[in-house]
Structure 1
Amino acid sequence: MKKLIKLFSYATLVVAFATHLSAVSATPGNVEEDTIHIWSSPDLFNVATIWVDEYTYMNPGAKIKLERADAAALNQIISDPGHIGFVTNEFVPEFKSKSVWRLAIGRDIVVPIMSADNLFISEISQRGISPEKFAEVLTDTSNQTWGNVLNSDQSTLIKSYYIGESSIRSYLAEFIKTSSQNMNIKEVSGIDKLLNEIQNDNNAIGFCRLVDILDDNGNEIVKGISLIPIDMNGNQKVDFFEDIYHNSADLARGIWIGKYPKAMFHSIYSVAGTQPTGSNELAFLNWILTDGQQYLYTNGYSELVYSERQSKIHGLNAAQTPVVDIQNKPMQAYAILFYVMLSLIVILFMFLIIRFYGAGKQELAPEKKSGEPVFGEHSVKAPGGLFFDKSHTWAFMEKDGHVRIGIDDFLQHVTGIITRVKMKKPGDRIKKGEPFLSVIQQGKQLDIYSPVSGTIFENNTKLQANPSMVNASPYSEGWVYTIASDNWLKEIKGLFIGEVYRVWIQYEFTRLKDFLSFNERSKSIKDLQLVMQDGGELKDHLLEGLGPEVWEEFQNEFINSSNEQGIS
């Protein structure tokens, strides 16, 4: 009892102290002016100035203070509350030691171009040029012919040009994985000179920013110039998921969902120590993502696509908290502040009591780690020796001749934690390409197709009690069946193994992003930011928070279509 009285006395002192603090904070002299503090890296200062000027012109009551900041000042500024920054990608590494909120607000995109009258344009458009071939053209003088690029006997030389900016040259060096000193490419001054070189030599290629080759409205590519498709997987053809080069809109959307080499574009960001929640800051950022986008084009940057902007606006506004107008309602603000602090103290008091009397009886639950895991090609495990099917299943022949089968790591990353499975019984027959397992998560279900045919010898009964083993260990503890295969040697000819599976997984990631993007446009997915991050990176367990209608569409459009069509 004495301990409880002591604890209560301590809490009373804390309340009294907090009351004093709230009274002090309520003095008019401590209220900061309602000003948005903006700072910009030097390379974005021009567009930042235009944004501030245009926004304050349209909103005369807005108060914005804009300052220029170099790399040395970034770490200090980001620590100050209430400050918002605009930076290009090269400044982002300055924040690696800090937890920083950032929001992509535009892009700097470099593209390869050619003349629309290029002698080989039809073949180039069908085959594309791989990063490896670009590397040969830009570094090896003995391989600078169209015959080398197109694997033909053509001896026509390829001359290469780029607009003489260090950032473009560094993008290219990163793209072809070499140092800029090793590149054999001619520098020209300005877009007019570059276009003149390409028009005078129809078989030349060039590199410039996307905005440099758009018409006066910033919408279409100027006549006489075509984009060169990049053959991302190096299979000497432009696959449907690489087919984004017909116009600037297709390219911009492809960049957003990850179909374009990351080395060839960088985002520009708004950054802050924590996500802005004030009404003035949010209003300004919302304006930048809408009306403010038009000013990017004239400053050499590309706008975000409409769907991406809407997704970011939704995520930005979802974090907004009620903000009191301190200038007009000071007493209301102080009262709210006092009661918020008092409530927190009461909660603290209750926590101390529970902690005091609960010590030794039970351990506190561990805190969940912060941060959102990213789901990418590097996330997918694929042990050697396993055969994989396009249904996202695997098969492996044991020493006793039985074939062990299960679902692959890719699929469990997509579904999230499995809460129940529906399995067949020993003795049941399964057939390749037909449903052999249903995975369920909180009532939402996917039917999975078998990689091989045969009779079930054993099922993994542990999955009935602990279905999440499929997530934790899909290739060992989370196996599904062992079967007596009907025709193992014949059926494995249609399965993937090793590096072939890795290449196919790249295709599946693109197909998954296409599915998500399409369903966002059709409103099945209301907020693409829930499943996709900046630059097209996916969030882990992306279906977990989505409704049954999306699971049904994923079944029909992703699982079923893969099973029916296959991969060429």
Structure 2
Amino acid sequence: MGYLIYTDIFATKGIEYLLVIGFLIALILFWRLLRGSEIGPEAAGAESGSYAPGWFLVPDGLYFHRGHTWAKPEAGGIVTIGMDDFAQKLVGKPSALALPRVGEVLEQAKSGWKVEVDGKTLEMLSPVQGEVVAVNEEVAKRPDIVNSDPYQKGWLLKLKDRRLNADLKNLLTGKLARAWMEDVEDALRQRIYGDLSAALPDGGVPVSGIARSLDPENWEQVAREFLLTDQ
């Protein structure tokens, strides 16, 4: 005598669906944990009002040059300047910083300082003009500070800018700076992932030293393109 065995296929499928949903939830939690560890507590709190929906921090109250340097106006026409979050992630951990001396005069959008990484030297553009009145000696001794805290402890120079208002008009701040950085991120994602970038919501968090990931043999040229010093 045969037996009729009844299998509830909906119950079986239900278990499969639950497993898939559980996997997706675990993946999302892991991704958030990864994103949090990548940004880090120091960088995430680099500035009140920091804007970081994607890969790079864009703090409020700062003015950005398209060569990925920033300026922060202080009292008495003093301006604090440094390299932005994109720049430090682009080049990675520097072995040395060649900073100008107090008394030297910098020009806006001209060479302001040099970053040495893996035996290569990269110039960075000064976001404003002015006379150097202070140099961050701590960063000169420990260049890796620009990686952990590019907007506060990682500042590089203070300048006396006698045409500050005119210089600031050539820089990006607020919504314009955020929109610009989003465009930079989109271009970078396209370069890293190609056609796949549109299918990846975040495209993965880039490691420190993005330029080397893009082109290990000619990474310094890649960096110069983004820093606008490839001419």
Q: 1:459 aligns with which of 135, 141, 146?
A: 135
Name the residue aligned to 1:539.
206
1:386 aligns with 2:93: no
Equivalent pairs counted in the alignment come to: 198
> 1:547, CA displacement in angstroms?
2.7
Judge conservation of contact 1:374–1:537 (CA < 8 Å) in 2.
no
Matched to 1:543, the amino acid is: A
Deviations 1:103-150 (A, max 9, x none): xxxxxxxxxxxxxxxxxxxxxxxxxxxxxxxxxxxxxxxxxxxxxxxx
**Partner letter of residue 468 of structure 1?**
D
Given the superposition, is the C-alpha separation of residues 96 and 445 from structure 1 closer, same or farther in structure 2, using an over 3 Å criterion? farther
Letter in 2 for 1:540: V
The one-letter code sitting in structure 2 at the alignment partner of 1:558 is: F
Gaps of 5+ in 2: 1-11, 40-51
Letter in 1 for 2:218: E
Residue of structure 2 in register with 1:190 after alignment: none
Q: Which stretch of structure 1 is more off in the superposition, 372-381 or 488-497? A: 372-381
Question: 2:181 maps to which residue?
Answer: 505
Q: TM-score, normalised by structure 2?
A: 0.72
Distance in structure 2 (CA, Å) of the matches to 1:458 and 1:548: 36
Do the aligned partners of residues 475 and 371 (structure 1) sit closer, same or farther apart at CA in structure 2, a change above 3 Å counting? closer
| Whole-angstrom CA distance in 1 between matches of 2:124 and 2:162 | 19
Counterpart selection for 2:126 from 429, 439, 450: 450
* Structure 2 letter corresponding to 1:487: R
For 1:492 and 1:443, the matched residues in 2 are separated by 34
**TM-score, scaled relative to structure 1:** 0.31
Aligned-residue offset at 1:393 = 1.0
1:470-518 deviations in Å (ceiling 9; x for gaps): 1111111100100111411111111111111111111111222344468
Distance 1:549 1:71 in 2: 52
Equivalents in 2 of 1:514, 1:379: separation in Å? 14
**Aligned 8 A contact 1:444 1:548 in 2:** no
1:387-426 matches, cutoff 5 A: 387-426=63-102
Structure with more relative contact order (C-alpha pairs < 8 Å, separation 6 or more): 2
Check conservation: 1:71, 1:94, Cα contact below 8 A. Answer: no
Distance 1:379 1:558, change over 3 A: closer
Say if 1:427 and 1:456, in contact at 8 Å, map to a contact too.
yes
- Structure 1 position 432 matched with structure 2 position 129: no
User: What is the match of residue 227 of structure 2?
Assistant: 559
- Secondary structure of 1:539's counterpart equals coil
Contact 1:533–1:539 (CA<8 Å) still a contact in 2?
Answer: no
Match runs of 1:135-150 below 5 Å: none
- Could you tell me how far 1:384 is from its partner in structure 2? 2.0
1:72 equivalent in alignment to 2:15: yes
Inter-partner Cα distance in structure 2 for 1:498 and 1:402: 20
AA in 2 matched with 1:495: L
Q: Give, as a single letter, the amino acid of the residue that structure 2 aligns with 1:438.
A: K
Letter in 2 for 1:560: L
| Distance change (3 Å), C-alpha of 1:502 and 1:371 | closer
1:424 maps to a residue whose letter is: P
Please give the residue correspondences for 1:6-85 in structure 2 after superposition, counting only pairs within 5 Å: 70=13, 72-73=15-16
Say whether the 8 Å CA contact 1:515–1:558 is kept in structure 2: no
| Per-residue CA distance 1:42-70 (angstroms, 9 max, x = gap) | xxxxxxxxxxxxxxxxxxxxxxxxxxx73
Q: Secondary structure at the match of 2:169?
A: helix
Q: What are the superposed Cα offsets for residues 221-280 of structure 1, whole Å, 9 maximum, x if unpaired?
A: xxxxxxxxxxxxxxxxxxxxxxxxxxxxxxxxxxxxxxxxxxxxxxxxxxxxxxxxxxxx
Native 8 Å contact 2:93 2:117 kept in 1: yes
Q: CA deviation at 1:445?
A: 3.5
Over 3 Å counting, the alpha-carbon distance change for 1:95 and 1:377 in structure 2 is same
Change (3 A) 1:378 1:71: farther
1:380–1:488: structure 2 CA closer, same or farther, 3 Å change rule?
same
User: Are residues 421 and 96 of structure 1, via their aligned partners in 2, closer, same or farther at CA, if it must alter by over 3 Å?
Assistant: same
Look up the match of 1:28.
Answer: none
CA positional deviation for 1:554: 2.8
Alignment of 1:368-387 (within 5 A): 377-387=53-63
Aligned AA (1:393): T
Summarize the Cα distance change of 1:73–1:517 in structure 2 as closer, same or farther, 3 Å threshold: closer
CA contact (8 A) 2:67 2:226 kept: no
1:415 and 1:543 in contact (8 A); partners too: yes
Cα distance between partner residues in 1 of 2:14 and 2:178: 39
Deviations 1:279-333 (A, max 9, x none): xxxxxxxxxxxxxxxxxxxxxxxxxxxxxxxxxxxxxxxxxxxxxxxxxxxxxxx
Mark the runs of 5 or more structure 1 residues left unpaired by the alignment: 1-68, 77-90, 101-369, 519-528
* 2:144 corresponds to which of 451, 463, 468: 468
In the TM superposition, what is the alpha-carbon distance from 1:402 to its structure 2 partner?
1.2
Deviation track 1:372-394 (CA, whole Å, cap 9, x = no partner) reads 86787434222222111111111
For 1:84-483, list aligned pairs within 5 A.
91=20, 93-96=21-24, 98=26, 377-483=53-159
2:91 touches 2:223 (CA, 8 Å); kept in 1?
A: no
Distance 1:73 1:414 in 2: 42
Q: Which amino acid aligns with 1:501?
A: A
Aligned with 2:218 (options 536, 549, 555): 549
Distance 2:114 2:80 in 1: 17
Equivalent in the alignment of 1:490: 166
Q: Give a deviation string over 1:181-212, Cα, whole Å, max 9, x none.
A: xxxxxxxxxxxxxxxxxxxxxxxxxxxxxxxx
Counterparts of 1:533 and 1:444 in 2: how far apart (Å)?
A: 33
- Cα 1:379–1:496 change in 2 (3 A) is same
Deviation at 1:97, TM superposition (A): 5.2
Q: Secondary structure of the residue that 1:467 maps to in structure 2?
A: coil
